[in-house]
Structure 1
């Protein structure tokens, strides 16, 4: 009889976790002790990954963002879902940075007048190197490697 309360407590905790996680079947199967839940969770995570930039179609670890022609010369484009901003300071020269502001972690929202702008507290960053140009940000945006393959931008976090 001592095993029944333990099993019951585990069931309650797992079900509570499932409810907190949104009640999805993946969360419920994650509570099983059969060991098959990791493959279910991995396939669920993989399904979500395809919608955020076709990460699997680039080089190992690279995220494919879209056409290089989408990034204007002297400007840039924010890829909000991937939390990446790509700029083109000069024709054919692409730079990629984290889109997460180094001040409060907000996602930058636009690239205008040669600067990447954060909407939360007004931080500004240079499109050429991600350096701080204004506002409360304490450090530059982290830079990523970017390459153009078959006309598509591929970004790799360093």
Structure 2
């Protein structure tokens, strides 16, 4: 080969394999991408339950002396005594973890063990020093709604 016939670029096997792999990965990621369209028609996404006015739970879903955490809505609903329902933010006032357990009149945060009263959200055991923020709910018949 004369100098005019030599290739301008030379690639070793590793470079070629890497380039092909990167191109294949790009194709795969593009194919896995999300879209709001499915099957050529607009996808309908259901509204999340528990927005103001939407049913959050049935009264029967909330145990007496306990409660239930609604993580998507950021609230915990308790029933300290029969027929009395309370709601608080599910965000612990210590470091913002979500509370996870309600039993025997106590709301417990799993991160550092803070405990709050299911009656008024006050601190029963630290390290939290501030109560859970109250949330507004409405109880109509057997339905509990945010609002």
TM-score bracket relative to the smaller structure: 0.5 to 0.7
Larger Rg: 2
State the Cα distance separating 1:63 from its structure 2 match.
4.5
3-state DSSP of counterpart to 1:69: helix
Matches within 5 A, 1:59-138: 61-138=52-129
Aligned partners of 1:109 and 1:118 also within 8 Å: yes
Unmatched tracts of structure 1, length 5 or more: 1-18, 27-42, 56-60
State the Cα distance separating 1:62 from its structure 2 match.
3.6
Aligned partners of 1:96 and 1:155 also within 8 Å: no
Q: Which has the higher contact order (CA 8 A, sep 6+)?
A: 2
Unmatched tracts of structure 2, length 5 or more: 1-28, 37-41
Listed one character per residue, the Cα deviations across residues 86-132 of structure 1 (whole Å, up to 9, x for unaligned) are: 00111111000000101111110010121000000000000000001
- Give, in whole Å, the separation in 2 of the partners of 1:119 and 1:113: 16
Q: Using a 3 Å threshold, how does the CA distance of structure 1 residues 145 and 54 change in structure 2: closer, same or farther? A: closer
Q: Calculate the aligned-residue CA RMSD, in Å.
A: 2.3
Aligned with 1:47 (options 45, 52, 60)? 45
TM-score w.r.t. length of structure 1? 0.62
State the Cα distance separating 1:135 from its structure 2 match.
1.7
- Give, in whole Å, the separation in 1 of the partners of 2:50 and 2:80: 25
Higher helix share goes to which structure?
Answer: 1
Aligned partners of 2:50 and 2:145 also within 8 Å: no
Residues 117-126 or 61-70, more deviating: 61-70
TM-score w.r.t. length of structure 2? 0.67
State the Cα distance separating 1:64 from its structure 2 match.
2.3
Count of aligned residue pairs for this structure pair: 112
